[in-house]
Amino acid sequence: MGGKMSGRNLIVYLNGNKTGILHESRSSALRFTYTDEAEAPISLAMPLNAVYGDEQTRAFFENLLPEGDLREMVAQAHRVSSNNPFSLLKEIGRDCAGAVVLGDDLLLNDTTSLQELFDVEQFVSKNDAILHYELGMRHSLAGAQFKTTVTIINDTYYIPSPFFPSTHIIKSANPRFQDLVANEFFCMTLARQIGLNVPNVSLLSSGSLVYLLVERFDRLIKSDKIERVHQEDFCQILGYLSSNKYEDEGGPRLIQIVKAIDRYSKQRAADLASLAKLIIFNYLMGNCDGHAKNLSMIHSSTGPYLAPFYDLVATSIYQGRSTRNATSINGVFDLESIDKAAIIKEFDQFGISGKRILALVLRDFKDIVSIGKEVARHKALEPYQATINLIIGNMSKRLDRLAKE
Ligand SMILES: Nc1ncnc2c1ncn2[C@@H]1O[C@H](COP(=O)(O)OP(=O)(O)O)[C@@H](O)[C@H]1O
Ligand SMILES: [Mg+2]
């Protein structure tokens, strides 16, 4: 029988190592098989020495792709179906989140040298980015925000290439929410200031363009090359498609993330403490988009651990935007209905007293409002004071609510 022969194959490299074959059958079923050379698994949910069927394979690979309009746009640019992850990854799977690269046998022979990027504004503008997808800048990152990637070495911007993958993500201003990148810059910077592990971010402009430059934590710049560090998000770890990332659409609950950290992390106590801090931070900021794809684990040679936090945005300030949380706190979804009791009950599932966890987090966050006001004085945030003040005002109210009850 045709078996393995019919259908299509893509080679999956991990850290430059030919690790597996992604196979698509003629009826579009996916299958993943590790090669004999495989040294490390692509997913915590997919240990070596096994073959994975459609469900597990699809969950891992589909989650590498952009979502929403962005996925449509990429599909159109490459003239492939937006609902075919294999076709999409065949086109853009050259520079993904983590250390996986998808392509053919010739891929690793491509030593195209770096091309300097002179006009960031043009590069980032929407039309041009489509062009870059067509021309071969084939990165695939999750999310629906408009974004592109760059390689920055010694402060010089380059167009990423196979040997020099992107080191930074550029998120450009959203036409519907002009202040979104400033909002994210504020949240990420405040998170860092109060001790959460987040990547370096800068709010920059080039001509009329305002953009957020995010340092990738899954890249290591060595003297002669750029190494990838593997990571995967919690939809991948837990086996959910990106379309099910929200809890009320059948997506993961916080307890599943807690259990996965408990099961896989090499530093479970520290990671659970960080997760508790993130949950309170998101609550205070009014970030309702803390779903399972906005949280990842790093695969390191010494074991997996929680990746730095990203995509922290005060989403609730946008009128018409729902204040329904991506994940519930003890079954409560609405941001303004979450109370101390719900948080404590949720934290009780972490393995130690929820009351104690909350007390520790609140102690760490006791100066968050004044630190927030400090961050708001950042020069780049000057034009966005109304937005930032709104976020700080809401944060202050929610903090009072938690402190009082
Ligand atoms: N600093 C970073 N380093 C490495 N990977 C990142 C970083 N920030 C985000 N990512 C990856 O890129 C994806 C998209 O980024 P994100 O900021 O969540 O965009 P969006 O706002 O569109 O959801 C994330 O799901 C994650 O896999
Ligand atoms: Mg995201």
Nearest ligand to the CA atom of 296: 1
Token pair recorded at residue 348: 């009780």
- How does residue 2 score in pLDDT terms, banded at 50, 70 and 90? very low
**Under a CB-based contact definition with an 8 Å cutoff, are residues 211 and 171 in contact?**
yes
Q: What is the pLDDT of residue 23?
A: 98
The CB of 280 under 6 Å from ligand 1? The reply is no
> 359-383 burial by CB neighbour count: b if 16+ within 10 A, else e?
eebeebbeebbeebeebbeeebbee
Atom of ligand 1 nearest to the CA of 70: 22
Angle at 373 between CA 371 and CA 379, to 5 degrees: 110
Three-state DSSP at 239 gives: coil
Q: Answer yes or no: is the C-beta of 399 below 6 A from any ligand 1 atom.
A: no
243 C-alpha to ligand 1 centroid (Å) = 16
**Residue of 195, 241, 317 lying closest to 56 (CA atoms):** 241
| C-alpha Rg value of the chain to the nearest Å | 21
Q: What is the percentage of the chain residues whose pLDDT exceeds 90?
A: 77
What is the 8-class DSSP label of residue 231? E
Residue owning tokens 């909002």: 183
Buried b (16+ CB within 10 A) or exposed e, 197-217: bbbebebeeeeebbbbbbebb
User: What span, in angstroms and rounded, lies between the C-alpha atoms of 361 and 301?
Assistant: 30
Which is nearest to 96 in space by CA: 42, 46, 45, 51? 42
Residue among 43, 139, 141 to mutate when testing ligand 1 (max atoms within 8 A of CB): 141
Find out whether the beta carbon of 169 lies less than 6 Å from any atom of ligand 1. Answer: yes
Q: Which token pair is 9?
A: 């194959």
Helix (H, G, I), strand (E, B) or coil at 226: strand
Q: Is 289 a catalytic residue?
A: yes
Cβ burial of 55 (10 Å; 0-12, 13-18, 19+) is exposed
Q: What is the pLDDT of residue 105?
A: 72
At 194-246, the pLDDT tens digits run 999 999 999 998 888 899 999 999 999 988 889 999 999 999 999 999 999 99
Q: Please give the sequence-ordered ranges of beta strands (E in DSSP) within 229-302, or none if there are none.
A: 230-233, 296-300
What are the structure tokens assigned to 207, written together?
Answer: 């001509």
pLDDT tens, position by position, 257-310: 999 999 999 999 999 999 999 999 999 999 999 999 999 999 999 999 999 999
Rounded Cα–Cα distance for residues 187 and 191 (Å): 6
Residue with the two structure tokens 């911007």: 157
- Atom 16 of ligand 1: nearest residue by CA position: 311
For range 30-55, the mean pLDDT: 97
Strand order in the sheet with 17-24: 51-52, 30-34, 17-24, 8-14, 100-103
Q: Give yes or no for a contact between 259 and 297, defined as CB atoms under 8 angstroms apart.
A: no
- How would you class 36 by CB atoms within 10 Å of its CB: exposed for 0-12, middle for 13-18, buried for 19 or more? exposed
CA separation, residue 292 to residues 95, 168, 237, 254, 320 (Å): 21, 22, 9, 9, 23
Residue 349: CB atoms within 10 A of its CB come to 13
Distance 294 CA to ligand 2 centre (A): 5
pLDDT 10s digits, 74-128? 898 889 999 999 999 999 999 999 999 998 876 666 666 788 887 787 777 766 6
Size of the chain, expressed as the number of residues it contains: 405
**All structural domains of the chain with their residue ranges:** 234-404
94 in ligand 1 pocket by Cβ < 6 Å?
Answer: no
How many helices (H) and strands (E) are present in the chain, helices listed first?
13, 20
pLDDT band at 142, cuts 50/70/90? very high
Segment 75-88, tens digit of pLDDT: 988 899 999 999 99
**CATH topology (fold) of 234-404:** 1.10.1070
CB 253 within 8 A of CB 81: no
Of 95, 233, 271, 289, which one is the catalytic site residue? 289
Decide if 223 contacts 216 (C-beta within 8 A).
Answer: no
- Which among 218, 250, 215, 258 has a CA at the least distance from the CA of 234? 258
pLDDT tens track for 306-350: 999 999 999 999 976 679 999 999 999 999 999 999 999 999 999
Token pair 């609405």 in the structure block, residue: 334
293 Cβ inside 6 Å of ligand 1: yes
